[in-house]
Structure formats: C-alpha cells, structure tokens
C-alpha cells in the first residue's frame, strides 16, 4: 500500500505478502483484487491501509497465468491466459470478518478459441 497523497514523495503505509507475483490489481471500495502467475484471485481488505488482510482466495482454472483483473459491480473478470476469461461473483465472498475466508463463487467462464 503506497500513500500518493503527495505525488512527489510517495511512501509505503502497508504491505501484504502474496505467494506468487502480483500481475494486476483492481481496487473497488475497500477491497483490492489481486491476480498473478499461477495463483488465482485474491480479495484483500484494504479498509485499513496500514494492515491489509486477505479476505478470500480462489484458484483459477488450469495452469494459466492470471494476467489481468477488472471489477464491475459485484463481479470480477479475470483474464486467465489459455483458460480464457473467468467471472466471479464477489457478493459470495465479501462482508465477512477475518479469519473466515469464504471463496468467491465462479459464475462463468469463456474459453478463448485457439487460432
């Protein structure tokens, strides 16, 4: 977590470890949605920037690289390499207190055709 309120002197205010490299992050409200490498989708509560915590995790399909994430309303769209685009219902994994970690429910998948 980086405070950029003064653009000329950004500084770290919080940190959370992820087992794999974080390739993309989308932020909506008090949550950061992180995808990367073979790791899947992680939902991070960032309401307290100095102490973010993982609220939920769901592995994405196969051995694809989760390379991008976008959030719209209560859905997360994950670009997952050869596995295509996966869609997750965020309402199924938000609104819980730590340490409970419910999994976001996968509601759709579109496989990208090979050429």
Q: pLDDT per residue over 55-85, tens digit each?
A: 888 887 755 566 788 999 888 888 887 777 8
Is the pLDDT confidence value at 112 over 60?
Answer: no
Distance CA 77, CA 110 (A): 10
Is the pLDDT confidence value at 14 over 60?
Answer: yes
Prediction pTM value: 0.80
The predicted pLDDT at position 18 comes to 85
* pLDDT (tens digit per residue) in 33-42: 998 777 788 8
Least Cα distance to 43 among 97, 34, 51 occurs for: 34
Is the pLDDT confidence value at 113 over 60?
Answer: no
Q: Structural domains in the chain?
A: 2-110 (2.130.10.10)
């Amino acid at each position: 977590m980086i405070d950029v309120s003064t653009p000329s002197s950004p500084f770290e205010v919080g940190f959370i470890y992820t087992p794999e490299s974080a390739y993309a992050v989308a932020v909506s409200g008090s949550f950061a949605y992180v995808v990367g490498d073979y790791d899947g989708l992680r939902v991070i509560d960032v309401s307290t920037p100095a102490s973010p915590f993982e609220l939920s995790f769901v592995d994405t399909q196969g051995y694809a690289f989760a390379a991008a994430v976008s959030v719209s309303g209560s859905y997360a769209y994950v670009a997952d390499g050869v596995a295509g685009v996966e869609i997750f219902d965020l309402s199924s994994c938000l609104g819980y207190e730590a340490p409970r970690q419910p999994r976001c429910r996968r509601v759709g998948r579109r496989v990208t055709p090979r050429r």
